[in-house]
Amino acid sequence: MGTPTPFSAGLALRLHPQQDLRVELDQWVQQEGWEAACVVTCVGSLTRAALRFAAQEEATVLEGRFEIVSLVGVMSVHGSHYHMAIADSTGRVLGGHVLPGCLIYTTAEIVIGVLPGLSFRREFDAETGYRELVIRG
């Protein structure tokens, strides 16, 4: 276990109607050249959600109006990983892995923390069979 490194930089951004949440976040990561960053908080809404639920191979696409009640993510030019929870008009909450195709309804107000001195990488892990986070710094 490494020594925690406090972050001292970040930014806030707002996404607009019909922008794709995943695509926009990944574009910001690439544009800014972030080696290591994270989603600190997000509030907003969607008209379409593309989520991969636990133990599923394919995306589930949901159409309607949803509130974003949580968005978390580990961000890097070497690969990002996001999970989101959304609530429907009855308050039912669903969550999963964020895929391209999550379209903003009215807004997404996102705060991102940048972690200087760290680099997040995605490398194959023989134990899990997936590309997992490797932290360097």
Q: Are 67 and 89 in contact (CB under 8 A)?
A: no
Residue 93: which of 103, 83, 101 has the closest Cα?
Answer: 83
pLDDT of residue 4: 47
Strands (E), the chain: 9-15, 37-52, 60-75, 81-87, 93-98, 103-114, 119-125, 130-136
pLDDT of residue 8: 58
Residue-range domain boundaries for the chain: 24-136
Q: For the chain, list residues with pLDDT below 50.
A: 1-2, 4-5, 7
Where residue 76 falls (left for φ over 0; alpha for ψ -120 to 50; beta otherwise) is beta
Note the pLDDT tens digit of each residue in 36-73: 999 999 999 999 999 999 999 999 999 999 999 999 99
pLDDT of residue 32: 92
Residue 76: which of 132, 124, 20, 21 has the closest Cα?
Answer: 132
pLDDT of residue 11: 86
Q: Are 93 and 85 in contact (CB under 8 A)?
A: yes
In one-letter notation, the amino acid at residue 91 is G
pLDDT of residue 1: 44
Where residue 71 falls (left for φ over 0; alpha for ψ -120 to 50; beta otherwise) is beta
CATH class, range 24-136: alpha beta
Q: What is the largest CA-CA distance in the chain?
A: 44
